[in-house]
Chains A and B, each alone.
Chain A
Amino acid sequence: MAFNFNWSPLIADTSRARDMLTAALNKSPKPPIIVDDIIVTELNLGTTPPELEILEVGDLAEDRFRGIFKMSYTGDAFLTLKTKVQANPLNTYLSAKPSFASPQPLAAAAGLTIPLQITLSDIRLSGFVILVFSKQKGVTLVFRNDPLESLKVSSTFDSIPFVRDYLQKEIEAQLRVLFMEDLPAIIHRLSLRLWSPEFQELETEERLDAPKDTTVPIDPFSTPAQDAVDAFGNPIEPSQISALSLDDPAEVHASFSQKNMTRLAALSESQRTLSLFTPGIQEVVFRAWTSPAGAESGTNTPGLTQGSLSRIQSTFGSTRSHSSSVASGSTGNETQSSRPTLASGYSSSANLSLGANRSRTGAQRKRKTRVVNLRKTDGADSPALSTESNTPLTSTNVSETDSVIPEEQEEDVTTPPRSPPKNGFDVGNPTTLDPKSLVPAVPLHASPPKAPKPKQKSKISTPEPVEETPRASRRPPLSHSRLRPSQQATSPLLRSLSFDKVSSLSEKAKQPLSPPFSDSTSSSGGILEQAWMLKMAQEIGRKVQDEKDKQARRELRRSRGLEKEGVDVRDMAKGVWAEDEEVEAPPAYRA
């Protein structure tokens, strides 16, 4: 592909362009120093063409073209203007001031109008140009930024520095306006005259009237996103953004407005801290919403309820029935795509972000202890499965095809049984909930297969009344109130599929977990302190335990001998080993 820009015919006849420039220069209100019309006496485009670098070609056909260029010009074009200027600075200064507080000089402000010839040369331009050409609509050329880099203004007043500087400043300002506003119009009119004969006739009639519609062809460019930024927050080049707005609307999503970016920043900020504030972002699904607890917020974004719905299904399914989890996987194709990140982030980072999204009072702390305790109970109560505490998780991974599931399961299986103390939490909260939100959950007992549908209803009906309560306190109870009955309802199904595993998990998890949890929830104030204290207590306890274990092991080794060490030690001191595992595992879940 090649473009052939022919420069020489452009420089041949400039009389029309001269007239149009003259008209354009006199259109806008002139500064008081210019007291006469500005007449373009000479216009020479020079022999050096501007350098064009094609950045993007948006549309290309025989009769139309749309592209973005990077233009730089260092040619020898020059322009000579003739006008009359007011040489008395006092005159121009006073003409713009109210007469009431003016010194009203007698003759010191007497005017001296001087014919002025200005030559603009050494014009240095560099900028992004958008060129749209179509046979019908002519050529539209728009500068996306201020292209004027520098120019040399030589005039009659070069010997007077004050006037020279003033002229240079004024003319540069005027030229910027010319490049940004007037030049596109001039080029458009010129091109129309060239290509459409009917316009030529129109034009001749129209010439008597004032030209008014000259800015119309710029319209498609005139409403790009304001201070657009890309996904990384870097400002998008004006040329790019205009290309985006020109292209089909699907691509517009690539750009975010500054406003949304700040909201996103606030959101990530709130996750880093203990802030409960979640900024509202339109058409965005929060991961927190995808859990059944946050289901009520799904109605805020009507377009996305489907996705969040399917996600709820998947969480339920994954916990209780693999069949339903498969179904949810098939329906929630949109949400599944976002899941892998979660699944892959099974390690510390994902857990952290999840915890940040959810309630801070319980979830994060819970999870930590829960994981630890799970293994402990596994190791302690079901030694038959395997000697390693990790086995239940790996086995589920194997049995379930969906990579998403382990994470979900890990969360949801453990939460409901663990919550006896949390029930008190729950009892208080449902009063703030819309009763409807809870009622549909009841039929779940009777008809487990229909579970998803009532869920959907309840989710839609909840949001308004619930919205008053802060999210952090609201979410966990909601999830429990719904999960428990449904879990019980689906338990037969569960048992049929992975009976031994899940049931053992849930049942075992109940007893050992409750004590620490009740501790944490009993004192609701001072979350930070509480967390800190708990952590410290655990840490210290662990250290002490560690020391004891080491000593115990040493003693064991000494007493038993070195050969049969591994198996025997495990058999003999199960609790010790479980503690050991605990020491190694948690760092992944702790930030």
Chain B
Amino acid sequence: MIDFMDNVQNAFYETSHWNLDNSYGALNATARALLDFQTPKGLRLQISSLAAPNFATSYTIGSVGVVDGSVSYLYSSLPVQRELRSANLALRHVIRGYRHLQELRRPDEKWWWELWHDGVRIDNRDTLLYGRIFLPQSTLEALYLRRLSPTRQLKITAVSDSNLNNGGTILALLQTDVGKYSTEYMYSTDSALLGVRGLYNFGYDPRVAPTSTPTAEDVVEPVHGRFSAGAELYYGLLNKSGGISTGLRFTTLPNHTGFPYTMTLTLNPLMGNLSSTYAVKAGKNLALCSRFDFNFYSYESELQLGCELWRRRSNTEVEWAVKKLRPEWKRPIASPDDDVSGILKARVDQDWRIGVLWEGRIKELLFTLGASVDLRKREQIFRAVGIELQYSS
């Protein structure tokens, strides 16, 4: 379950028409959501509030050995319109699961953002500020996000911690997304790391408006998938070391008639690492994922399997009545996933390390219950067990 503040940030991206998925960093987001989820440790409580449409606060207290906590504040120049109260927020916003990619959206025209008043431009760039301090450790996280233009965004993240070299680190990220392709340039003060990332989507270019009338072929075989390729390159100026990787992705689009699926293949030529994932949304409530890693230098391989299962209450008494409702009738359901009793996520790898997560909503509380299990180590099977509770108003 993602953090309240992350949810607010996602809402900001959505409101400002920024596509998070159209980035090389999000190439295998589906596989990571299904296989690399974090299992909570210990008890953690979070109380959050969207005090005003532009201002959010969140307090976290946890007990892992010692009691620790964090206080965070967020300011967004764009009013957040998303429902954030834990009682009625949409669970799909807070559960990271199979990411169903949408059709690429044409980027906003620049003049759309312009606001004129009495012959003077009065519009401002949308900005998001976020800070979080972890209390006993005195670690400070800060985020500055600014939409420079409809196709460009600047994101500066900083961590201040006395344990780090030079007392902290700053990462500046300049992102450009024009739909057809996206690029990112980054600089990290830590060892002066420079990075470039790019993603290119083959096929349909959203910037070019369809001029010709759709041909018969288009009608018969509509584009139902998207093929993307990308690469990243890093170089640390101070430690004179770098990294490189390239990746491919094919994913189905909503107009695909069969079940949606996503395939990715990433290659790290320097380290000889080859990773392929295959994720499929087998039904409305089930997603499966597998990942196979192979290193052709060390011949090490790894296999991971994961699944996501949405459990819904079946109220058989009224099902027949619901079926008889006509689709155009407005359904009297308060929240879209009122019948969701919980979401189960599980993963297992070839070493029998198992991670289980059970997420859901009880009354007005969002909960996450998780455990990671290592069946190989008999003496200590449960590596970590934890529960997280979130309440937001």
B82 to chain A, nearest CB (A): 22
**A102 interfacial by beta-carbon distance below 8 Å:** yes
The residues of B that contact A102 with a CB separation of less than 8 Å are 171, 188
Partner of B234, one of A100, A108, A114: A108
B311 to chain A, nearest CB (A): 30
**B212 interfacial by beta-carbon distance below 8 Å:** no
Chain B positions 1 through 43: 1 when the CB is less than 8 Å from some CB of chain A, otherwise 0: 0000000000000000000000011011000000000000000
The residues of A that contact B141 with a CB separation of less than 8 Å are 98, 100-101
Known contacts A98-B139, A107-B247; is-contact A93 B275 (Cβ 8 Å):
no
Q: How many contacts A-B (CB < 8 Å)?
A: 106
The residues of B that contact A111 with a CB separation of less than 8 Å are 271, 273
Q: Are B271 and A103 in contact (CB under 8 A)?
A: no
**B239 interfacial by beta-carbon distance below 8 Å:** yes
Q: Are A112 and B298 in contact (CB under 8 A)?
A: yes
Chain B positions 249 through 273: 1 when the CB is less than 8 Å from some CB of chain A, otherwise 0: 0000000000000000011101111
**B54 interfacial by beta-carbon distance below 8 Å:** no
The residues of B that contact A113 with a CB separation of less than 8 Å are 298, 300
Q: Are A105 and B234 in contact (CB under 8 A)?
A: yes
**A97 interfacial by beta-carbon distance below 8 Å:** yes
Q: How far is the CA of A104 from the CA of B173 in the complex (A)?
A: 11
Partner of B273, one of A89, A97, A98, A110: A110
Chain B positions 227 through 259: 1 when the CB is less than 8 Å from some CB of chain A, otherwise 0: 000101110100111111101000000000000
Partner of A106, one of B28, B186, B272: B28
**A88 interfacial by beta-carbon distance below 8 Å:** yes
**B164 interfacial by beta-carbon distance below 8 Å:** yes
A84, closest chain B residue (CB): B298
**B47 interfacial by beta-carbon distance below 8 Å:** no
Chain B positions 276 through 317: 1 when the CB is less than 8 Å from some CB of chain A, otherwise 0: 000000000000000001010110100000000000000000
The residues of A that contact B188 with a CB separation of less than 8 Å are 101-103
**B107 interfacial by beta-carbon distance below 8 Å:** no
**A87 interfacial by beta-carbon distance below 8 Å:** yes
Q: How far is the CA of A102 from the CA of B157 in the complex (A)?
A: 9
Q: How far is the CA of A108 from the CA of B188 in the complex (A)?
A: 15
**A109 interfacial by beta-carbon distance below 8 Å:** yes
Q: How far is the CA of A106 from the CA of B195 in the complex (A)?
A: 12
**A162 interfacial by beta-carbon distance below 8 Å:** yes
A557 to chain B, nearest CB (A): 88
Q: How far is the CA of A108 from the CA of B269 in the complex (A)?
A: 9
**B88 interfacial by beta-carbon distance below 8 Å:** no
**B190 interfacial by beta-carbon distance below 8 Å:** yes
The residues of A that contact B169 with a CB separation of less than 8 Å are 97-98, 101
Q: How far is the CA of A97 from the CA of B234 in the complex (A)?
A: 16
The residues of A that contact B126 with a CB separation of less than 8 Å are none
Q: How far is the CA of A98 from the CA of B141 in the complex (A)?
A: 10
Which DSSP category, helix, strand, loop or mixed, fits chain B's interface? strand
Q: Are B271 and A112 in contact (CB under 8 A)?
A: yes
Q: Are B245 and A93 in contact (CB under 8 A)?
A: no
Q: How far is the CA of A108 from the CA of B298 in the complex (A)?
A: 17
A174 to chain B, nearest CB (A): 20
The residues of B that contact A104 with a CB separation of less than 8 Å are 25
Partner of B27, one of A88, A106, A108, A112: A106
Q: Are B245 and A106 in contact (CB under 8 A)?
A: yes
**A284 interfacial by beta-carbon distance below 8 Å:** no
Q: How far is the CA of A386 from the CA of B37 in the complex (A)?
A: 110
Partner of A98, one of B164, B191, B270, B272: B164
Q: Are B244 and A108 in contact (CB under 8 A)?
A: yes
A109, closest chain B residue (CB): B243
**B104 interfacial by beta-carbon distance below 8 Å:** no
The residues of B that contact A90 with a CB separation of less than 8 Å are 234, 236, 241-243
Q: Are B245 and A112 in contact (CB under 8 A)?
A: no
**B159 interfacial by beta-carbon distance below 8 Å:** yes
Known contacts A106-B232, A108-B268, A112-B271; is-contact A101 B243 (Cβ 8 Å):
no
Q: How far is the CA of A106 from the CA of B184 in the complex (A)?
A: 13
B170, closest chain A residue (CB): A101
**B193 interfacial by beta-carbon distance below 8 Å:** yes
**B158 interfacial by beta-carbon distance below 8 Å:** yes
Q: How far is the CA of A100 from the CA of B243 in the complex (A)?
A: 20
Chain B positions 130 through 171: 1 when the CB is less than 8 Å from some CB of chain A, otherwise 0: 000000000101000000000000000111010010000111
Which residues of A, 105-137, contact B by the 8 Å Cβ criterion? Answer: 105-114
Partner of B243, one of A97, A108, A114: A108
Q: How far is the CA of A109 from the CA of B236 in the complex (A)?
A: 13
A544 to chain B, nearest CB (A): 72
Q: How far is the CA of A318 from the CA of B281 in the complex (A)?
A: 110
Q: How far is the CA of A245 from the CA of B298 in the complex (A)?
A: 55
Partner of A107, one of B161, B164, B266: B266
B216 to chain A, nearest CB (A): 40
Q: Are B241 and A162 in contact (CB under 8 A)?
A: yes
A104, closest chain B residue (CB): B25
Partner of A87, one of B139, B164, B186, B271: B271
Which residues of A, 142-184, contact B by the 8 Å Cβ criterion? Answer: 162
Q: Are B245 and A110 in contact (CB under 8 A)?
A: yes
29 contacts between A and B (CB under 8 A): A89-B236, A89-B239, A89-B241, A93-B190, A97-B190, A98-B139, A98-B159, A98-B161, A100-B141, A101-B159, A101-B170, A102-B171, A103-B171, A103-B188, A106-B266, A107-B247, A107-B275, A108-B268, A109-B243, A110-B245, A110-B266, A110-B271, A110-B275, A112-B271, A112-B273, A112-B295, A112-B297, A113-B300, A162-B241
Residues of A within 8 A of B (CB): 87-90, 93, 97-98, 100-114, 162
Q: A105-B234, A106-B24, A110-B275 given. 16 additional CB < 8 A pairs?
A: A88-B270, A93-B191, A93-B239, A93-B241, A97-B190, A98-B161, A101-B158, A101-B171, A101-B188, A103-B188, A105-B243, A107-B275, A108-B233, A108-B244, A114-B297, A162-B240
